Amino acid sequence: MGYRNLQECIADLEQRRELVRIDVETDPYLEVGAIQRRVYRAGGPALLFTRVKGSGFPLLGNLFGTMARTTYIFRDTLDGIRRLVELKINPASLLKHPLDFAGAPRAALHLLPRTVNRGPILAHRATIDRLPQLTSWPRDGGPFVTLPQVYSESPSRPGFRHSNLGMYRVQLAGNRYRLNEEVGIHYQIHRGIGVQHAEAIARGVPFRVNIFVGGPPALTVAAVMPLPEGLPELSFAGLLGGRRLEMVAPPGQLPMPAEADFCISGVIDPTKTLPEGPFGDHLGYYSLAHDFPVLRVEQVYHRPGAIWPFTTVGRPPQEDTTFGAFIHELTGALIPEVLPGVKAVHAVDAAGVHPLLLAIGSERYVPYEAGRQPRELLTIANAILGNGQLSLAKYLLICPHEDNPPDIHDIAAFFRHILERVDWRRDLHFQTRTTIDTLDYSGSGLNQGSKVVIAAAGDKRRDLPAELPAGLRLPDGFTAPRLCLPGVLAVQGPACSGSFTAPDPDLERFSAFYGSDDPLNRLPLVVIVDDSDFVARTLDNFLWVVFTRSDPAADIYGIGAASRCKHWGCEGSLVIDARRKPHHAPPLEDDPAVERRVDALAAPGGPLHGII
């Protein structure tokens, strides 16, 4: 049986020495976040900060900091969930006719929340300024809730069956928010809450929202799960938590988990938006200040002994990397059911998740063809880019399973497989004015950018050089060629000073410098960067820089490029401009003074000694 609340989980982890108490006073402004990041990188324990400056509530960090600890927390329910996935039960049918699934695992009995008349969450009231004012990065616009569970219901079909629970950013103070009266709700495009918000505006009715913090650990995971349509997140929280979720609803308000630690209850103002942010985000940069909806706060509830769980969001890997791995473990088997023809999809964490997708599909359209080429792959690629959050990808690299590709999680081997087969004249397919991740500033504006599908199929076309070609030449201003992967060259270019609206003259000059017979063309991919040593140092550096600092339509060039029948391609090397651009957001950087304080905590006799 799973944990009823967060306190049970903490007690269990502490008994197993998977949790450490930090009993010295720590500052929620920068210091606590820096500690959590360092402990996560060290594969360390969960952290309970018992003396939080400016707040009477303890902070819990790094709860999901390792895959081993995450699977331990849900050890009692994982087998049942896997069996349900294997059965491929239709969630809507299961909710409507549970007796029809009598042979399904007992886990299915936990799908339906239970309404109760009272619960610990209603015991106490607070104000926003009494909550931990957690600020993770120096340029953040204020304190944020970093593990919120934002609950809303369909205005036309109220009730949990048509509810949404999502992890949307919540700013508690700063900017122009009226303290204790307003908080900011930042939800990205393609999120379930947006559909319900639009429905409330169209109907002219109040849009009520509850923000849960803490409670059973299953609630936190449920808030980030990409669930099939018809399965509410509250139902999945019951499945994962191993018990029916108990919900309590004060008169005139939405329900809230009886065992939650906190609940901020209110109504989203139908006419008002305010600047929210900046905020250090999962691409490794700040998402800048933009207008987002405002929640008028009505009540702040908390349970006795309430604990405030948090995480830090930044350049991967971070704690949310574990979320992604755990989600894949639970739902990976369903991908072929949702997307026929797809064998595997990998959203690459090191590239910020949404910027880069790798996929393996099928190529069955012309089985009698002498040489396989992308046909069905393009249909499958369109399906992937039309599905949920996968639609936010900028780069999709796809190949058929008939070509026996390597494991999709072996990123270097997958790149090698693609680059050995790709034909840049044929295999690039752009969407030039479309939506990308709200947090990605490489495009032409907020939510705006482009995509490219690189679909490679057939026999191997080339051998990839594992060293720099003899006779390699570079134009003036381009220096320090470094091999990142076989066939992938990083070149340090002049600082970018151009605008998004016109081709960059330095990149055009670089591409025009080479003829079709130049040795450079032995390298199918060339990336122009600000620091080639940094980019070539690790695979993660290459993935992060290239795919977070480029927009396909604006930043892809090529040797011998030409357009034929509106299709763009190139005869020689593909060139990606992955330099920092004037319109990009600034990258996240640690505060040196704060890092020195963390170092002191790790000295002999300190609470982090032997951990980091």
* Cβ pair 267, 181 in contact under 8 A: no
Predicted confidence band of residue 513 (pLDDT cuts 50, 70, 90): very high
Quick one: 366 and 269 in the same domain? no
Quick one: 293 and 334 in the same domain? no
Does residue 12 form part of some domain? yes
Predicted confidence band of residue 371 (pLDDT cuts 50, 70, 90): confident
What secondary structure letter does DSSP report for 464?
A: P
| pLDDT computed for residue 105 by the predictor | 62
Greater model confidence, 333 or 508: 508
Which of 455, 489, 511 is a domain's end point? 455
Q: Average pLDDT of 62-90?
A: 85
Q: Which of 67-76, 79-88, 266-275, 497-506 has the highest mean pLDDT?
A: 67-76
Q: Average pLDDT of 539-549?
A: 98
| pLDDT computed for residue 317 by the predictor | 94
Does residue 602 form part of some domain? no
Predicted confidence band of residue 92 (pLDDT cuts 50, 70, 90): low
Q: Report how far residue 597's alpha carbon sits from residue 29's, in angstroms, rounded to the nearest whole number.
A: 13
| pLDDT computed for residue 96 by the predictor | 64
Match 């699977």 to its residue by tokens. 71
| pLDDT computed for residue 542 by the predictor | 98
| pLDDT computed for residue 115 by the predictor | 93
| pLDDT computed for residue 334 by the predictor | 75
| pLDDT computed for residue 173 by the predictor | 97
What are 509's two structure tokens? 């000059």
| Average model confidence (pLDDT) across the chain | 92
| pLDDT computed for residue 422 by the predictor | 98
Predicted confidence band of residue 252 (pLDDT cuts 50, 70, 90): confident
Least confident among 120-134, 254-268, 338-352, 565-579: 338-352
Q: Report how far residue 457's alpha carbon sits from residue 464's, in angstroms, rounded to the nearest whole number.
A: 16
Residue 492 clears pLDDT 70, i.e. is over it: yes
| pLDDT computed for residue 24 by the predictor | 96
- In 234-384, beta strands by DSSP E: 246-248, 256-257, 262-276, 279-280, 286-287, 290-302, 308-310, 344-347, 356-361
Q: Average pLDDT of 330-345?
A: 84
> What are the strands of the beta sheet with 344-347, ordered from one edge?
344-347, 356-361, 395-400, 448-455, 428-435
Q: Average pLDDT of 293-309?
A: 97
| pLDDT computed for residue 555 by the predictor | 97
Quick one: 483 and 433 in the same domain? no
Residue 444 clears pLDDT 90, i.e. is over it: no
| Chain segment 99-119, per-residue pLDDT in tens | 555 556 666 778 889 999 999
Residues paired with residue 561 on neighbouring β-strands, in sequence order: 570
Q: Report how far residue 602's alpha carbon sits from residue 612's, in angstroms, rounded to the nearest whole number.
A: 6
Distances (CA, A) of 161 to 96, 262, 310, 377, 540: 10, 23, 28, 36, 41
Quick one: 17 and 144 in the same domain? yes
Does residue 606 form part of some domain? no
What secondary structure letter does DSSP report for 350?
A: G
Quick one: 234 and 336 in the same domain? no
Predicted confidence band of residue 94 (pLDDT cuts 50, 70, 90): low
What percentage of residues in the chain have a pLDDT greater than 90?
A: 77
Residue 529 clears pLDDT 90, i.e. is over it: yes
**Enclosing domain of residue 514:** 479-577
Distances (CA, A) of 138 to 55, 291, 592: 20, 21, 11
pTM: 0.92
Residue 459 clears pLDDT 80, i.e. is over it: yes
| pLDDT computed for residue 89 by the predictor | 56
Q: Report how far residue 46's alpha carbon sits from residue 18's, in angstroms, rounded to the nearest whole number.
A: 6
Residue 581 clears pLDDT 70, i.e. is over it: yes
Quick one: 420 and 488 in the same domain? no
Does residue 583 form part of some domain? no
Q: Report how far residue 33's alpha carbon sits from residue 21's, in angstroms, rounded to the nearest whole number.
A: 15
What percentage of residues in the chain have a pLDDT greater than 70?
A: 96
* Cβ pair 230, 236 in contact under 8 A: no
Q: In sequence order, what DSSP letters do the residues of 96-142 get, joined into one string?
A: H-GGGGTTS-GGGGGSS-EE-S--GGGSEE--GGGS---B-STT-SS
Quick one: 297 and 355 in the same domain? no
| pLDDT computed for residue 191 by the predictor | 74
Quick one: 69 and 193 in the same domain? yes
Does residue 463 form part of some domain? no
Does residue 252 form part of some domain? yes
| pLDDT computed for residue 332 by the predictor | 76
Cis peptide before 278 (omega within 30 of 0): yes
For the chain, the domain total comes to 3
Does residue 28 form part of some domain? yes
Residue 125 clears pLDDT 80, i.e. is over it: yes
Quick one: 118 and 207 in the same domain? yes
| pLDDT computed for residue 2 by the predictor | 86
Which of 260, 280, 310 is a domain's end point? 310
Predicted confidence band of residue 226 (pLDDT cuts 50, 70, 90): confident
Task: Report the CATH number at residue 330.
Answer: 3.40.1670.10
Distance of CA 560 to the CA centre of its chain: 36
Quick one: 525 and 498 in the same domain? yes
| pLDDT computed for residue 97 by the predictor | 63
Residue 181 clears pLDDT 80, i.e. is over it: yes
| 54 CB-near residues (< 8 Å, 6+ apart) | 28, 132, 133
What are 81's two structure tokens? 């969930």
Does residue 603 form part of some domain? no
| pLDDT computed for residue 596 by the predictor | 96
Predicted confidence band of residue 494 (pLDDT cuts 50, 70, 90): very high
Residues paired with residue 434 on neighbouring β-strands, in sequence order: 449
| Chain segment 24-68, per-residue pLDDT in tens | 999 999 999 999 999 999 999 999 999 999 999 999 999 999 999
Which of 281, 310, 339 is a domain's end point? 310
Return the closest-CA partner of residue 208 out of 217, 221, 199: 199
Task: Report the CATH number at residue 217.
Answer: 2.30.110.10
Quick one: 409 and 384 in the same domain? yes
| pLDDT computed for residue 88 by the predictor | 62
Quick one: 503 and 524 in the same domain? yes
